[in-house]
Amino acid sequence: MEYFEHFPPKIETTAPFLLTEKPTIDPTCIIRDSYVGAYTQLMKNTMLVESSFGDYSYTAGDVQIIYAEIGKYCSIANSVRINPGNHAHWRVSQHHMTYRPVQYGLAEEDDHDFFQWRRDHKCIIGHDVWIGHGASIMPGVKIGTGAIIGTGAVVTKDVGPYEVAVGVPAKVIKKRFSDEIIDKLLISEWWNWSRESLEVNFKDLFVVDTFLAKHI
């Protein structure tokens, strides 16, 4: 028996890890027909298919994002699924052979209309949204800027800006700020600041009153 304080061994470095305009993408990620913005990070086993991923947003790994638009500054925790697959439960068999028959040698083409439905019901995630560990965002759902989605939530209905939604199915339990403050934050559109503006005004993002006094 052997005791390990840390495995694999820690690697000492003299410089911090820095994100840049070039996306930081783990080699285990799968990306297909998607746009990835600047200062982004996609950690291990992230899948991004026919989607856009806004500047400064990141995934914490094992995330699947299909047919979706992700805003800027979004924080997506481990094991999140955005626009998960569907099954044709209205048919005699709901098995995926009914829409992927080519794999089974049962047809020469797959059911393209079935997949187009998911494309037509893409998920729209606003800016600065925090999605907790293991949450699922169902097809067609829109989540407003500044919202929080709780751990393990299954979101079947739209969530408004700066609302907090938790549970299965997810329900809104509160708002992060008053309606007056929310309106002002939305008007500010700080997420569209240039890099230069972000660097100059970065500390203003820490305190709401300070931010509103200076930028509204």
Q: Cα(first)–Cα(last) distance of the chain, in Å? A: 62
* Strands annotated E in 14-54: 24-25, 30-32, 35-36, 41-42, 47-49, 52-53
| Of 89, 95, 96, 215, catalytic | 89
Known catalytic residue at 89:
yes
Q: With DSSP H G I counted as helix, E B as strand and the rest as coil, what are the percentages for the chain, rounded to 5?
A: 25, 25, 55
Nearest to 176 by CA among 190, 186, 163: 163
Instruction: Give the whole-angstrom CA distance, residue 21 versus residue 208.
Output: 27
Instruction: Give the whole-angstrom CA distance, residue 67 versus residue 24.
Output: 21
Classify 158 as helix, strand or coil.
coil
Strand-pairing partners, residue 64, are: 47, 81
Catalytic residues: 89
